[in-house]
Homo-oligomer: A and B are copies of this chain.
Amino acid sequence: VSRPLVALLTDFGTGGPYVAAMKGVMLGICRDLDFLDISHEVRPHDIIGAGAILMATVPYLPAGTVIVAVVDPGVGTARRALAARAGGHVFVGPDNGVLAPVLDALGPDELVSIENPRFARPSTATTFEGRDRFGPAAAWIACGTALGEFGPPVAVFTRERRPEPRAAENTLEGEVVWVDRFGNLVTNISRSAWLREAAGRSGDVLAGGRSAGSLLRTYAEAAPGALCPVFGSTDQLEVAVREGSAAETLGLGPGAPVTVVWR
């Protein structure tokens, strides 16, 4: 029998004790867990970026993974804690929008508010619910506790006002949602949105108002140093620079406008 798998996404960083403390508590609850670190380097409090990274990871996780996402600027306040079953996985995290993209995409089969104190760590701390609340819930779920044990079903979850691309007659306007290690600017324009809006037309890409040329199939089709719009590994439009960093070349980051002009 395989060990239960818990995937973690946080903004805790790996320089301090936070990730290991959270994992240590989880191993105390469910000793045979396997961990899969998605990332602990989400920009602090960046709910939108974290949601995009989850979207780019979840399709590749094995069935039955428990995913716990803790990017939580409202820690210690009254915002709800969620557990959701969707797409063959279970998701645990604050009800602040971080889970919204993936839950919207997969459609939750079950959604509960985590309230039962039996599954939380008693703690005087009010600043570390990853360790005291979300992590423990994920560990109990991974070892077999049913979602219904945690609290009442809820009907809705918070959708952070996340940017959707806006279509006009001759353009599709999106924006950068995160920047990868190569300096590639990953946008909120999916391949399917492009195909739907293009309706057979070709498109040129503008990033931060500057022309990045027309869509290429892969980085290697661009000249070294040239801007290069491609559909990246997660089928989102990204603007890259071959053998360079588009983020540095263009001086752009999350939130910067990226527009497709149809011709």
Contacts and interface: CB of A to CB of B under 8 A. Distances in A.
Contacts of A209: none
Within the oligomer, what is the number of copies of this chain?
Answer: 3
B128 A21 contact: no
A53 interface: yes
* Chain A interface bracket (under 10, 10 to 19, 20 to 34, 35 or more): 35 or more
Of the listed residues A37, A126, A131, A230, the one surrounded by the most CB atoms of chain B closer than 10 A to its CB is A126
A54 B234 CA distance: 28
A219 to B, nearest CB: 6
Given A24-B36, A60-B24, A181-B44, A18 B233 contact: yes
Given A60-B25, A233-B131, A126 B218 contact: yes
A56 B16 contact: yes
Interface stretch (A72-80, A143-151, A198-206): A72-80
Contacts of A74: 220
Interface string A168-200: 000000000010111000000001000000000
A11 B181 CA distance: 8
